[in-house]
Amino acid sequence: MKKMTPYQKQAYRNQRKAEKKHAKAQRKADKAHRKAEKTEAKFTKRADKLTSKANVSAEKAHTKVMKAADKAHIKAVKKTAKAQKKAEIATARANAKARAAQATAQIASHRIGIKSSSPSITTPPIVMRSTSERSQPHSHSSPTAGPMRPRRVTTVESSTPSRPPSREPDTQRSHSYAGHMPQPSPTADVPPLPSHSLSAQHIPQSSSSAPQLPELFQSEKRQQSRRSELEDEYAQLELDRIQLDRDVVDRQINDLYAGIGKLQLDSRRNSE
């Protein structure tokens, strides 16, 4: 083997030094690479753990939201069905009230028509009594019944002094049953009325009661007109009350329909 020159020796030393440096750098690079891989694996594991945890939380939140939405939807459907049922009941009740009000109005108008066309149906007949008949006890007579037996009138004697007996003839007393005409008195100036006038009651023959007939007829006419006015006023008040009830029911139905629309809108928003 040849002996190396000093230059060769120096080159060999430099080469060995460079190889050592390169090996050391390689080892450092491998160590850094292994450390990076380890760190990357660590952070990847942590990221996977956090991602899985986030996914689980998101799934739980989504399930919770879906459950709440389903619950709200079911509640809204129930409320809508309940409101629709209430609206149907209110509509049926309003229709029944309207039919009853219409029937009541028809009955009231029918009654008003009957009473305006024939007011003499409900008015009591006029009963006239003379002064001598007023002093006597009340006779039990029926103005609309036919001839029947007169009832007995029992009188109780009192301790007070009685009125002296009337000197008028018996023919001027009214009979105790309807339909019987008195016999004319020879001293009477006014002839008796026919049997069909004044519900077949006896008109007194005295001259003092004759001027009272126009006043009695006028008072009876005033009573009939006042009665018809009161009946018309009552019918108008009944119609106003029916209309007021109908307006209240219509307002309640409109409120119910507005509530149903609001509930449907809320359920649609919750489902979205």
Give the tens place of pLDDT for each residue, 77-133: 999 999 889 888 988 888 888 888 888 887 877 666 655 554 444 444 444 454 444
Give the tens place of pLDDT for each residue, 202-255: 444 444 444 466 777 777 788 888 888 888 888 888 788 777 877 787 787 878
Angle between helical axes of 212-271 and 6-117 (0-180°, round to 10): 170
Mean pLDDT over the full length of the chain: 71
Give the tens place of pLDDT for each residue, 126-144: 444 544 444 444 444 444 4
- Show Cβ contacts of residue 148 under 8 Å, excluding neighbours closer than 6 positions: 142, 177
CA atoms within a 13 Å half-sphere pointing along the CA-CB vector of 14: 6
pTM confidence score: 0.28
> Between vectors from CA 191 to CA 186 and to CA 194, what angle results, nearest 5°?
130
Q: Is 39 left (phi over 0), alpha (psi -120 to 50) or beta?
A: alpha
Locus of tokens 């009138």: 153
Phi, psi of 136, deg, nearest 5: -85, 165
DSSP for 61-84 reads HHHHHHHHHHHHHHHHHHHHHHHH
Per-residue model confidence (pLDDT) at position 47 = 93
CA atoms within a 13 Å half-sphere pointing along the CA-CB vector of 8: 4
Say how far apart CA 212 and CA 9 lie, in whole Å.
175
Fill in the amino acid letter for 12: Y
Per-residue model confidence (pLDDT) at position 104 = 83
Say how far apart CA 246 and CA 98 lie, in whole Å.
7
Say how far apart CA 216 and CA 224 lie, in whole Å.
12
* Rg value, the chain, Cα: 59
